[in-house]
Chains A and B, each alone.
Chain A
């Protein structure tokens, strides 16, 4: 059971918008710690997608955006493309564990 909670799966048609939630607690997201997002394509290592809640690394399309409020964060993907089909993970810091924590991951299916 992961410290951060994500929906196991989401889906959307090409061109649509989907959001993936990441819910934490008062010892991680709610304590003000930043949330980061990773995309894991099948059979590959995770790749940094969003850092510090809202920032995109160079090369990440602006179709991907992040937000954070209270004890939760969200990843939004607009203009869905077939190549977006992947697993997405949120990550933060937890003060009670004194280390990094991940969400359980969300599988995005492009219909």
Chain B
């Protein structure tokens, strides 16, 4: 059973860059798409982007190129960077895995981390 665990600072100052890492254990990081999804307090889920283990990434265009996702297969980790943050970026950030069979990858998220709250405040 794969497990995902987010880590990173819980407090980021406005205009700075938010950086989080997701560590994958109990399963392979290869042959999967890895995602970041966030949830502002009391609000719904927002997809931020995903990256294939080989390095190709896709991002939510609403974030205006502020987001970058990278993967380090040797460390079984993938990371999120969100630049120029404001209070609107305060949220619980989840890392998640898109389901892949032996032949195809699909769009649903079958494994999630527990989430980490990041607050943007001076």
Where the two chains meet, the residues of A that have a C-beta atom closer than 8 Å to any C-beta of B are: 2, 33-34, 36, 38, 44-48, 51-52, 57, 89, 91-93, 97-105
A-B contacts, CB under 8 A, total? 65
Residues from 93 to 122 in B contacting A, C-beta threshold 8 Å: 94, 99, 106-110, 112-115
Q: CB-CB < 8 A to B115: which residues of A?
A: 45
Q: CB-CB < 8 A to A92: which residues of B?
A: 107
Q: CB-CB < 8 A to A98: which residues of B?
A: 58, 61
Question: Which residue of A has the minimal Cβ distance to B99?
Answer: A51
Interface size of B by Cβ–Cβ distance < 8 Å? 24
Q: A91-B108, A99-B59, A105-B45 are known; give 14 further A-B pairs, CB within 8 A.
A: A33-B107, A36-B107, A44-B114, A46-B45, A46-B109, A51-B99, A91-B107, A97-B60, A97-B62, A98-B61, A99-B50, A100-B35, A100-B47, A102-B44
| A104 and B44 contact, CB distance less than 8 A | yes
| B110 and A48 contact, CB distance less than 8 A | yes
A81 to B46, CA, bound (A): 28
